[in-house]
Amino acid sequence: MAAHTNMRLPVPRQVDHNKRRAEVVEIATDLIAEGGLDALTVRNVAKAAGYSTAIVSHYFADKRELLFHIYRAAVARAGARTAAILAADPCDLDGCIDALLPLDDERCRDWQIWFAFWGMAVADPDFAAEQRARVTDAQALFKSIFEARRRAGLLPPDTDCEIRARLWVSLIDGLAVQAVFDRADWPPERQRRIIDEAIGQR
């Protein structure tokens, strides 16, 4: 068997394109978080990744397309965090809030990406449409949690889960806007304190 194995013809090395795309997105994410939108160029990404600009351009036509995928990757990370929480307990509102609030470096980085995206979405109809779709997803996620809590008897039967979801998405977005730019002033305890202050809505 060993001899047979040694006799195999060499297989051409396959490039795993999905993996490489994800790797480029990851590197570009760090570039934005550290250097801002101006640092996001195909050239800078190629340099940081150790690829030619041609390879990076093969995956992403330009800075705008890169930013779009960086944004989606950050949304996917946050989505994976909340999905894991809700798989364990569909009523776990506090767990989901913790999964989204900028409580650590990783979650802060996701928010930095979202802020950069919003800045560009101000006058970019495609980005604005993407942002609308993601906000709708977030509202639906929180609505599903409030509905689960209502079914479980944790909330009164006449609770308006739709309005409550919009309220909580607002609260989390707005808290992040303050906390990410002033982390010293917003340690995790203070972020959770604001959430507790709004406990009447939970």
Binding site for a second copy (CB under 8 A): 32-37, 39, 112, 115-124, 128, 131-132, 135, 160, 163-164, 166-167, 169-178, 181-182, 185, 190, 193-194, 197-198, 200-201
- Least distance CB 131 / a second copy (angstroms): 5
CA separation for the pair 202, 155 (Å, rounded): 8
Nearest residue (CB) to a second copy, 58 versus 72: 72
- Least distance CB 178 / a second copy (angstroms): 5
User: 101 and 175 in contact (C-beta within 8 Å)?
Assistant: yes
Nearest residue (CB) to a second copy, 91 versus 101: 101
Name the token pair of 101.
């609030």
- Least distance CB 56 / a second copy (angstroms): 20
- Least distance CB 97 / a second copy (angstroms): 12
Nearest residue (CB) to a second copy, 2 versus 158: 158
Question: What is the full DSSP assignment across the chain?
Answer: -HHHHHTSPPPPPPP-HHHHHHHHHHHHHHHHHHH-GGG--HHHHHHHHT--HHHHHHH-SSHHHHHHHHHHHHHHHHHHHHHHHHHH-TT-HHHHHHHHS--SHHHHHHHHHHHHHHHHHTT-HHHHHHHHHHHHHHHHHHHHHHHHHHHTTSS-TT--HHHHHHHHHHHHHHHHHHHHT-GGG--HHHHHHHHHHTGGG-
- Least distance CB 55 / a second copy (angstroms): 25
Residue 201's Cα: distance from chain center in Å? 25
Nearest residue (CB) to a second copy, 20 versus 201: 201
Nearest residue (CB) to a second copy, 50 versus 200: 200
- Least distance CB 116 / a second copy (angstroms): 5
Nearest residue (CB) to a second copy, 58 versus 166: 166
